[in-house]
Amino acid sequence: MSELEVQADFAARAGQPGRPRRLGVAETAAGVLALFLLVSAVAPHLVAPGDPLGIDPLSAFAPPTRAHVFGTDESGRDIFTRVVHGTQYSLVIGAAATAIGLGLGIVLGTLAGMLGRVVDFTVNRFLEVLFAFPGLLLALLFIVIFGPGVATATIAVGLSTAPGYARIIRAQLITVRSAAFVEAATVLGRTRWQILLRHILPNTLAPLFVLATLGIGQAIVWAATLSYLGLGAEPPTAEWGALLSAGRTYITSAWWMSFFPGLFIVLTAVTATVLGRSIDSRMRHA
Amino acid sequence: MSTTARRIEPDAALTVRNLRVDFGADPVVRGVSFEVARGECLAIVGESGSGKSVTARSLLGLAGANARVSADRLELGGQNVLGLTDRAWRARRGKDVGLVLQDALVSLDPLRPIGREIADSLRLHTTLGAAARARRVLELLDAVGLPDPARQVQKLSGQLSGGERQRALIAAAIALNPPLLIADEPTTALDVTVQAQILALLEQITGDGTAVVLISHDLAVVSHIAHRVAVMHDGLLVETGSSRQVLGSPRQEQTRRMVAAIPADKPRGTRLSLSARAADAAPKPARPATSAVVLEAIGLSKSFRRPDGTRHLAVDDVSFALQRGTTLGIVGESGSGKTTTARLLLALLPPDQGEVRVLDQPWSAASEKARRGRRSGVGAIYQDALGSFDPRWSVAEILTDALGLRHRRRAPQTTARLVTLLDQVGLTAAVLRRRPLELSGGQRQRVGIARALAARPEILICDEPVSSLDVSVQAQVLDLLDDLQRERGLSLIFISHDLGVVQHVSDNIVVMRAGRLVESGPATRVFAAPQHPYSVQLLAAIPRLSP
């Protein structure tokens, strides 16, 4: 950093050491949306008191009105109610898939980063093989073997994101392992395990949780894709991908059936991304 | 001569009246006036944050996108350049004013041969053909003293040494014979012997009639080639005058502080930081010398594998001994094996041959398990203090850990110990909750020293502990180490590329070159009568205040 930049940096931060940056419009909106999604997932009846499976053939294919804000489907079920009740599936699938991917990535990445050249070489070749397949193809392969369903779709998405996490963890471990502060801990007479637990792992994993937040958005989109293809949640479950798929047949006459579930998939993914980036930039400048 | 030149205004290559720069909030430059005549070298000296770099960049229209620059007058060669558009500036840069930056490695495009880099300005500003440009580039490289120019033009910046890169950069800056050259810390990243060569080159350029503005934090460096010196502090010029006058009899507090902080030629034990107490000013009496050896290196060698498979001998058969309560200085230029030696002494690397013994016990030959319990006896201070702290930890956590305690269950008496520790290095409890990133460079190094002291070591190994600090902060840290040694009888290994610093702190000296020990002995003897030709050359290159 040149002296000039340092000065500019100091000037920018002058008088407010450690005070957090003000929230932007996007961050505020994402925060409100995240809160709404969380409430929808935990207590959907608070947001939409109706029954997501309750049919009402008389008001089938109703366009968005005051009674049905998102309209109704071919059986007269309220789309808004179904979308709100579907939040829990999408969020749980997204979080679980990311946890699986991250967990597997941590195991593989730590093996590669800590256990010497032979293990590193083997794990790396294995990861390269996984990387050679597009992520979704890998997930499809897994589903072909184990059959469709919410559980398999979740595991499939988790599996296909694992190589990316593993790579990042390995690179981070190798950087942190040779950092000056690790050497300083050795000079202070710390054992290998103390250094690993107190310095190397926290510094490797902390940045990953930010990445995981970003990953949840991606996992939700992928899980919805699988459901849309009929390989994840199956109708009449109100999962967003499944809703999208159900609306596809009527897209020319009843656009709202696919539009609103699609809107929620996009908004959720964007929310996760905006929050992830915001946390990331705050941690960098903390 | 400078005074006559100043009176003849039309001759001024640069006139600055009441220059102000701010970046929105506080002004960084708060009304600075000076002029530079042709063939004159003006040095603007100040510590980081004084505004000297911003001033220099304003002279090229490079103060930054969100900088607000204003002045009563800002003239290059008699022509107003205040408020020029970017486009107008581009036409002038290189032609009317040249710039030489500190780090030539990042200033040169790593993927283009240096010949092409230098030819750029010729291509943009002249009508010379390709052949004429190539000839001119060779002339320039010859002029800046780069040996064998015909071969060097083909090289990429990464294939050149630091000194060669800096020469190439100067060649690019003077390609169009600009009447004004601005050099921003042109020698800061260089070894002393190379620094001396670059300074001689700048002096020669000044002699050819170019006006030079030299920006530096180092008074000793500028004293040789600057005709006039302007001392900058907090956005203002606090003192301006001929080099002899400013450095010989400084009038302002800030200048006196900087002059006093220059370590070279100040006897061991002299305070470098100005103090209100008169008693501190006198040199402290020398400690009684003991002959007990606390750390010994016997025939140390270490080699590394190069990317191409050959082996590079970083440390080659080096032996020395550190006596209790004394300081052993290890000097050498980059690549001399100093840092590898430090890592061998800290047993972070196993030696290929030879042995390190601590307190008459095997150290490098012992297993890490056996050594671990004794590691508290050997502390370390690093050049990059910030990098040596876990970025997630606060100062309190760092020091608690260094005391061997757990931060989570911190007892009140622990906090008291932390405060005592901080007090020894001149810090207050206020920094406990801060993270090192939020501290200044001097504060960080003090925390680093406090951490090293926490385990009550007998030996401290300091690898370039003050190299990244401002002179006045450097002076305070050196004084602190001196005090601690006096109070605790610490034995220090002090590794540095800066001979002036080593001369000031050391009782004994080891001079290293390319992994070998070329000379060793008592500091006074080595500095007064160096035996080895390399030591002679190194000593001659020490930046001193010119008489």
- Residue A1, pLDDT > 70, answer no
Would residue B500 count as lying in a domain?
yes
Mean pLDDT along residues A45-54: 81
Would residue B433 count as lying in a domain?
yes
- A7/B28 CB distance under 8 A: yes
- Dist. CA A51–CA A45, nearest whole Å: 9
- Residue A15, pLDDT > 70, answer no
- Residue B102, pLDDT > 80, answer no
- Residue B539, pLDDT > 50, answer yes
pLDDT of residue B287: 55
Backbone φ and ψ for B307, nearest 5 degrees, come out as: -55, -30
pLDDT of residue A4: 39
* Count of the separate structural domains present in chain B: 1
Task: Report chain A's mean pLDDT, rounded to a whole number.
Answer: 83
Reduced to 3 DSSP states, what percent helix, strand and coil does chain A have, rounded to the nearest 5? 75, 0, 25
Token pair of B442, please?
């001097």
- Residue B2, pLDDT > 50, answer no
- Residue A6, pLDDT > 60, answer no
pLDDT of residue A21: 59
From chain A, the residues in CB contact with B23 under 8 A are 7-8, 11-12
pLDDT of residue B166: 84
- Dist. CA A71–CA A63, nearest whole Å: 4
pLDDT of residue A53: 81
**Model confidence over B294-346: pLDDT tens digits?**
999 999 999 988 878 788 888 999 999 999 999 999 998 877 888 899 999 99
Would residue B88 count as lying in a domain?
no
Mean pLDDT along residues B225-247: 89
Length of chain A: 286
- A6/B57 CB distance under 8 A: no
- Residue B355, pLDDT > 90, answer yes
- A12/B25 CB distance under 8 A: yes
Mean pLDDT along residues B155-183: 86
State the CATH number of the domain containing residue B380.
3.40.50.300
- A181/B401 CB distance under 8 A: no
From chain B, the residues in CB contact with A7 under 8 A are 23, 28, 49, 51, 53-54
Token pair of B403, please?
């005391």
Predicted ipTM > 0.85: no
**Is residue B17 classed exposed, middle or buried when 0-12, 13-18 and 19+ CB atoms within 10 A define those classes?**
middle
Would residue B448 count as lying in a domain?
yes
pLDDT of residue A17: 38
- Of the candidates B391, B276, B140, the one whose C-alpha atom is nearest the C-alpha of residue A175 is B391
pLDDT of residue B546: 63
* Residues above pLDDT 90, as percent of chain B: 29
pLDDT of residue B40: 92
Poorest-pLDDT segment among A76-85, A210-219, A276-285, B218-227: A276-285
pLDDT of residue A20: 52
- Residue B540, pLDDT > 50, answer yes
pLDDT of residue B111: 86
- Dist. CA A9–CA B432, nearest whole Å: 23
- Dist. CA A83–CA B203, nearest whole Å: 77
- Residue B228, pLDDT > 50, answer yes
Stated as kind and residue range, the H or E segment containing B237 is: strand B236-242
**Model confidence over B274-297: pLDDT tens digits?**
654 444 555 555 555 567 899 999
Residue B324 belongs to what domain range? 311-540
Confidence of residue B461 (pLDDT cuts 50, 70, 90): very high
- Dist. CA A257–CA B288, nearest whole Å: 91
Mean pLDDT along residues B66-71: 86
From chain B, the residues in CB contact with A286 under 8 A are 435
Q: Which of A17, A191, A203 sits opposite B438 (nearest CB)?
A: A17
Confidence of residue A214 (pLDDT cuts 50, 70, 90): confident
**Model confidence over A264-284: pLDDT tens digits?**
989 998 898 888 888 877 766
* Residues above pLDDT 70, as percent of chain A: 91
Helix B114-125 vs helix B130-143: crossing angle, to nearest 10: 120
* Residues above pLDDT 90, as percent of chain A: 13
User: CB-based contact (8 Å) between A189 and chain B?
Assistant: yes
Stated as kind and residue range, the H or E segment containing B298 is: strand B293-305
Backbone φ and ψ for B299, nearest 5 degrees, come out as: 55, 40
- Whether domain A24-62+78-285 has CATH 1.10.3720.10: the reply is yes
- Dist. CA B231–CA B42, nearest whole Å: 11
| DSSP secondary structure letter of residue B431 | G
Confidence of residue A182 (pLDDT cuts 50, 70, 90): very high
pLDDT of residue B415: 86
pLDDT of residue B380: 94
- A187/B378 CB distance under 8 A: yes
